[in-house]
Structure 1
Amino acid sequence: MIFLKNILFLVVLLLSDMLYSQSFKADSYTASEVENMNRWQLLKYDGLNVFNGVAYSYSRPFHWEKRDLYRAGATTLLVSGLYSFDQESSDYFRDQEKDIPELLRDFGWYFGSPQNNYGVTAGVYAYGLLTKDPKWRRTGVLMISSASAGGLLQQILKTITGRARPETGFGRHEFRPFSGESGFRSFPSGHTVLGFTTAYALAKQFENPYVKAGIYTVGLISPVSRLWAGAHFLTDVVLSMVITIATVEAVDRYLDTRNGYGDKRYGTGKTGQRPQKIVFNLTATSNSIGLTLNF
Structure 2
Amino acid sequence: MCSVVCENRFFRVFSSWCCILTFALASLPASAAERSTGDIFGDDLDGIGEDFGEVFSFPVNFDGADWLTAGAVIGSAVASALWVDEPLKRAVTAKRTPFLDGLASVGDLYGSFTAGFYLGGGMYAAGLVSGDEWTRLTGRAVLEAHTFSLLFTGLGKAVAGRSRPFTGDGRMTFNWFETDNRHWSLPSGHATSAFAISSVLSRRIDHPAATVGLYALSCITVFNRLYDDKHWLSDTILGAAIGTGVGLAVGSLVNDEEDRMSQVQGNLSEIQPVPLLTIGWPIF
TM-score by length of 1: 0.71
How far 1:97 moved relative to its partner? Answer: 3.9
Question: Which residue in 2 is equivalent to 1:236?
Answer: 235
Task: Give the AA of the match of 2:109.
Answer: Y
Offset at 1:35? 9.3
Aligned to 1:41, the other structure's residue is in SS state: helix
* 2:272 alignment counterpart: none
- C-alpha deviations, 1:17-56, integer Å up to 9, x for none? xxxxxxxxxxxxxxxxx99423332122112222332221
1:186-233 Cα offsets, whole Å, 9 max, x none, are 011111111221222222233331232112212322222011011000
Task: Quote the residue 2:252 is aligned against.
Answer: 253
Describe how 1:4-153 pairs up with structure 2 within 5 A.
Answer: 36-84=34-82, 85-98=84-97, 100-153=99-152
Task: State the 4+ residue runs in structure 1 displaced beyond 4 angstroms.
Answer: 259-264
Distance 1:253 1:161 in 2: 30
1:22 counterpart residue number: none
Corresponding letter in the other structure for 1:176: N
SS of residue matched to 1:231: coil
Kindly provide the amino acid, as one letter, of the partner of residue 62 in structure 2: W
* Structure 1: distance between partners of 2:238 and 2:175: 19
For 1:58, the aligned partner's letter is: F
- The runs of 5 or more residues in structure 1 that have no matched partner are 1-33, 265-295
Percentage of identical aligned residues: 23
- Aligned partner of 1:154 in structure 2 is 153
How many Å separate the matches in 1 of 2:89 and 2:177?
24
On the 8 A contact 1:196/1:219 being kept in 2, the answer is yes
Distance 2:194 2:70 in 1: 23
Deviation at 1:251, TM superposition (A): 1.9
Q: TM-score, normalised by structure 2?
A: 0.74
Is residue 189–residue 240 contact of structure 1 (8 Å, CA) maintained in 2?
A: yes
On the 8 A contact 2:110/2:217 being kept in 1, the answer is: no
Partner of 1:193: 192
Question: For this pair of structures, how many residues does the alignment match?
Answer: 231
Identify unmatched segments of 5+ residues in structure 2: 1-31, 264-284
User: Could you say if the C-alpha distance between residues 66 and 179 of structure 1 is closer, same or farther in structure 2, counting changes exceeding 3 Å?
Assistant: closer
Aligned to 1:209: 208
Of Structure 1 and Structure 2, which has the larger fraction of its residues in strand?
Answer: 1
Q: 1:243 and 1:97, CA in 2 relative to 1: closer, same or farther beyond 3 A?
A: farther
TM-superposed deviation, 1:259 = 5.1
Contact 2:161 2:185 in 1 (8 A): yes
Which deviates the most, 59-68 or 254-263? Answer: 254-263
Residue type at the aligned position of 1:230: D
Go from structure 1 to structure 2 and tell me whether the alpha carbon gap of 1:83 and 1:171 turns closer, same or farther (over 3 Å shift): same
Of structures 1 and 2, the larger Rg is shown by 2
C-alpha contact (below 8 Å) 1:134/1:260 kept by paired residues: no
